[in-house]
Structure 1
Amino acid sequence: MSRLPHRASRRQFLKLGLGAGAVLGLAAAGPDILAFASDVSDFIRGPAVPDVAPTQLSEHVWMIWSKDGFPTPENQGMMSNITFVVSEKGVVMLDPGGSVQIGEMALRMIRTVTDKPVVAIFNSHYHGDHWLGNHAFEDAYGKELPIYAHPLSKREIEGVQGSMWHSMMERWTNQATAGTRIVAPNRTVEHGAELDFGDVTLRVHHYGPAHTPGDIAIQVVEDELTHVGDVAMDRRIANMDDGTYVGTFRFYDELEKNASSRIWVPGHGHPSDQVLAWNRELFEGIYGNCLKAVEDGSTMEEAREMVLADPRVAGKAADTAGFESNIGKYVSIAYLEAEREAF
């Protein structure tokens, strides 16, 4: 079987209408096609992601901050924070990013901090901007590298959500994430699990559905810091398509009671001691008005007007990424949830 000519460009090949996912789907046709698909996957691999220097948050925890909240061709899918813990036993990743290229950038940045190996990964939930980077770490450390997630998240990554997010990230970034392979978690953790990494203890928190059904927050006990994934965000309106406002409030209550922290680390935005409070106020302004509208027999449009007039929401509009384009949808989600709760 002849190979693609070296002089052909990645973009020329993509003009044929085949993205990486589509080409790899040909593998079932037989060994020759499988070999061809493997060649093509390498050939159309997206470009490297520019380095982003990590910032130290506490004694053991570092974060590679993402300035963008949504994926674009320009940011190559770099839209969520990458957090890592440097322990006595090695480096533990708390969400490795949204592509193999982002994961490889994270590996380069870890090397500027420590020469210790990566010994574990935690995926906070099943949205792909947080776990598609698993691929780079499996390549670097092998298939036995422990990758932990809640059982619900593991199942979704192995199934529909994994395939969907893989395809969406390619589409949103104009194929910049091409070459990324789905590497699902190979371990599960439940609420209350504690993992010992020598001088660092990681404690798992799960309080039911919130941002997704399978969110986990990871408490770095010795540092009084908790990585909350997308359960809470800083100056970005959360994707609530798979979530619940009532469940999120319950999650916040339990975290504040059981994971007392001086730093909350979000998947999007800057870490601080105010992350939960900021997001709680925004969500209370959205959901509280929708619940009142439902109880009063007001329409969804009237609920939206109430939400936008609420100081808890209006005061955050100017500096919240994605506010204008998403607030209507999230009011709709809140209104429908309020209807279920009320009746």
Structure 2
Amino acid sequence: MMRWLVALALLAWPVAASEDIADQYPGSPLYSKPVEVIPHVWSAIGATAPPTYENSGHNNNLSFIVTGDGVVVVNGGAAYILAEALHDEIKAITDQPVKLVIDENGQGHAMLGNSYWAEQGVAILAHVDAAHEIEENGTRILEGMKRYNRDKAEGTFVAPPTETFEDKRVIEMGAFRIEVLHLGPAHGPGDTQVWLPEQGLVIAGDMAFHQRMLPIFEDTIVYDWIETWETGFEALGATYVVPGHGTPTNMAQVRRYTRDYLVYLREKVGAHLDGGGGLAEAYYVDQSPFAHLDTFEELATRNAGRVYEQMEFE
């Protein structure tokens, strides 16, 4: 009973995140021990800091669903060592085999651990755009991980997905209907959401943030992300949200720090443009309502600059 009360409290209230919190699971390469978000759905919550040697690159959420007829893992992880550690946790919970790994996108934290799962003979599913990103940039991403993870990168190689999808893949496994979705352009190529309609839970991937500031990449089109959110993601009506980074929460929290942040930043940059402001000053538009988020110092100015570049010729 206490475990479920704690879980409900996490969903009802924002939980402070900090880049200064030490590793929460010293006995494992994982940053934290997996928690059961709702019955049979687990997630190992990563650090809300950038990837480091200390957190082994575990700065995103590694989730899994124990279906009754096998386990579905969401995210390969940032390194072989993390995927192996997650599998150890799964084997301590159930004797059901892992039958499928789903990559939430083509970034390193989602796919470099595919190397471990590929060795286990597990099928790996990704969106076609994420698969393309892995093919094009996988070696560069791997080399970047090796620089910070050093000896912890041992065994990791680029293992491409064995299966791809375009808009939707429905998986009926055990007691679960699992809908693997690409709702539209958002944070990056091949963004994937895993929707459990009967449980009202979405494993959102990098569609949704709430404890750390979201990054806007060169290929992130903010206007499209907002549209995808409003026409696709919000329409799911999820009760429970496991974001790409940070603790499980609800739709109101991720809306506030994802959709509302993107709208706010476009408004601020738009006003700056209307006043004849240039790029140099755009980096410093007021983002103080979001200054408490982790990674604010690393990302806020870069985000503003990229929004300016996108809006300059709209």
Q: What does the per-residue CA deviation read over 1:267-311, in whole Å, with 9 as the maximum and x for residues that have no partner?
A: 1111211223322222222222112322332223443443x2xxx
Distance 1:176 1:138 in 2: 18
Query: Is 2:31–2:47's contact at 8 Å kept on the other side of the alignment?
Result: no
Q: Is it true that 1:321 corresponds to 2:301 in the alignment?
A: no
Query: Is 2:83–2:113's contact at 8 Å kept on the other side of the alignment?
Result: yes
Residue 24 of structure 2 corresponds to none
Superposed structure 1 runs of 4+ greater than 3 Å apart: 255-258, 301-306
Q: What does the per-residue CA deviation read over 1:172-192, in whole Å, with 9 as the maximum and x for residues that have no partner?
A: 223422320111111112223
Q: 1:317 to 1:138 in 2, by over 3 A?
A: same
The structure whose Rg is larger is: 1
Q: What does the per-residue CA deviation read over 1:98-120, in whole Å, with 9 as the maximum and x for residues that have no partner?
A: 00000011001112221100011
Q: Is it true that 1:130 corresponds to 2:110 in the alignment?
A: yes
Query: Is 2:78–2:112's contact at 8 Å kept on the other side of the alignment?
Result: yes
SS at match of 1:196: strand
Percent identity, please.
26
Task: Give the one of 205, 208, 212 matched to 1:232.
Answer: 208
**Count of residue correspondences:** 285
Residue 269 of structure 2 corresponds to 290
Distance 1:290 1:257 in 2: 25
Decide which moves more: 248-257 or 70-79: 248-257
Unpaired segments of 5 or more residues in structure 2? Answer: 1-27
Query: Is 2:72–2:98's contact at 8 Å kept on the other side of the alignment?
Result: yes
Distance 2:204 2:151 in 1: 29
Q: Is it true that 1:93 corresponds to 2:73 in the alignment?
A: yes
Distance 1:128 1:50 in 2: 16
Match of 2:77, as an amino acid? G
Distance 1:50 1:56 in 2: 16
Q: 1:50 to 1:230 in 2, by over 3 A?
A: closer
Distance 2:177 2:238 in 1: 14
Q: 1:115 to 1:327 in 2, by over 3 A?
A: same
1:329-340 aligned within 5 A: 329-340=302-313
Query: Is 2:128–2:166's contact at 8 Å kept on the other side of the alignment?
Result: yes
Residue 243 of structure 2 corresponds to 266
Task: Give the one of 37, 60, 67 matched to 2:40.
Answer: 60
Relative to the length of structure 1, the TM-score reads 0.78
Match of 2:303, as an amino acid? Y
User: Pairwise CA RMSD of aligned residues?
Assistant: 1.9
SS at match of 2:290: coil
Distance 1:233 1:50 in 2: 20
Distance 2:288 2:277 in 1: 20
Task: Give the one of 263, 282, 291 matched to 1:303.
Answer: 282
SS at match of 1:264: strand
Distance 1:60 1:89 in 2: 12
Q: What does the per-residue CA deviation read over 1:36-60, in whole Å, with 9 as the maximum and x for residues that have no partner?
A: xxxxxxxxxxxx7257321011123
SS at match of 1:92: strand
Unpaired segments of 5 or more residues in structure 1? Answer: 1-47
Residue 206 of structure 1 corresponds to 182
Q: What does the per-residue CA deviation read over 1:152-197, in whole Å, with 9 as the maximum and x for residues that have no partner?
A: 11111122x2111111111122342232011111111222331111
Residue 99 of structure 2 corresponds to 119
Query: Is 1:135–1:180's contact at 8 Å kept on the other side of the alignment?
Result: yes
Query: Is 1:66–1:269's contact at 8 Å kept on the other side of the alignment?
Result: yes
Q: What does the per-residue CA deviation read over 1:28-82, in whole Å, with 9 as the maximum and x for residues that have no partner?
A: xxxxxxxxxxxxxxxxxxxx72573210111231000112431112112121110
Distance 1:54 1:229 in 2: 17
Distance 1:115 1:283 in 2: 43
SS at match of 1:194: strand
SS at match of 2:109: helix
Residue 244 of structure 1 corresponds to 221
Shift of 1:225: 0.7
Distance 2:207 2:30 in 1: 27
Query: Is 2:30–2:44's contact at 8 Å kept on the other side of the alignment?
Result: no
Relative to the length of structure 2, the TM-score reads 0.85
Distance 1:205 1:51 in 2: 27
Distance 2:274 2:194 in 1: 37
Match of 2:268, as an amino acid? N
SS at match of 2:93: coil
Match of 1:316, as an amino acid? F
Shift of 1:336: 0.6
Query: Is 2:47–2:55's contact at 8 Å kept on the other side of the alignment?
Result: no
